[in-house]
Amino acid sequence: MNFFRTGLLLAALTALFLVVGHVLGGQQGMIIALVMAAGMNLFAYWFSDKMVLSMSGAREVSPHDAPEFHGIVAQLAQRAQLPMPRVYIIDSEQPNAFATGRNPENAAVAATTGLLNQLSREEVAGVMAHELAHVKHRDMLTMSIAATISGAIGMLGSLFMFTSMFGGRSEDRPNPLAAMALMLLAPLGATLVQMGISRSREYEADRLGAEICGNPLWLASALARIENNVRGGVPNYQAERNPATAHMYIANPLSAGGLRGLFSTHPAMEDRIARLQAMAQSHGPVTGGYAPTPAAATSPWGVRQQPPRQRGPWG
């Protein structure tokens, strides 16, 4: 159902783009804007993983640097029938995580030191299974397509302003008031549709992540802990400095007051937890799921907060 909803939202975004293109720039303007936006987002598609990891201050760790964390990711990737992704750690007190990469063969997963310090191994397994679900579903590709169309809509407005000022016959121009209203409302509509796509992918990643780790309650418990930290004011300075990366995290890392929920790319955490709890009641733990060590429920990860550019026990 979420795949169907994502398809409908992409179709709606495409239809909005065509309407805006017809009203503002005609067929020629629409093609020019689409080519420009596609070129920009094609670059982002190939290099966005490196940019996001760099903006987040993530550092890659090897199996020698972080054997337990690497081991969890490796076991979950094997269960999900995915290639082993690159593994990164972000020095941040806020528990959070994200996945990036254009396809499963070029994927990377990143977790904060706050996540590894504060959550049990089962909860960490639930979080990383969610991120691997994004990789398996190729959600980065879906969001790249949505970003391309949304960017094209914004570029059409700029193109209309340029042609209105420097060229074109007056009889070929659209009604100025209608065009201005569309220029203001269309990008907002595109943003809302793009957020709807992102939210639908989060629900689907929760579902598949619960299946990968073998127990929906592990992920539900992790989401509750993460939300308590974010609402409690634990900051993610990297995300605050680069809010464009916020949609990639498993939970919205930004502290934006009342507007945080309205313009969030993530569904309400209470709803996500309720769905996972209902899934656990309906299906129970999955046979052959992830099996942490016996001490996992009480043993801490022991990851210490490290200043930038210093190497700690996790690399």
- Which residue ranges make up each domain of the chain? 2-284
Q: Which one, of 116, 72, 98, 56, lies nearest residue 312 by Cα?
A: 116
d(C-alpha 86, C-alpha 73), whole Å: 9
Q: Which one, of 87, 98, 102, lies nearest residue 46 by Cα?
A: 102
Tokens of 16: 């909005």
- Residue 162's pLDDT band (boundaries 50, 70, 90)? low
Top-confidence residue, 62 or 239: 62
CB within 8 A of 138, min separation 6: which ones?
A: 103, 104
**Which of 68, 122, 123, 131 does the annotation list as catalytic?**
131
**Is 315's pLDDT higher than 50?**
no
CB within 8 A of 211, min separation 6: which ones?
A: 286
Other beta carbons within 10 angstroms of residue 128's beta carbon come to 31
How buried is 8 (Cβ within 10 angstroms: 0-12 exposed, 13-18 middle, 19+ buried)?
A: middle
| Per-residue pLDDT tens digits for 247-278 | 789 998 886 554 444 456 688 899 999 999 99
Catalytic status, residue 131: yes
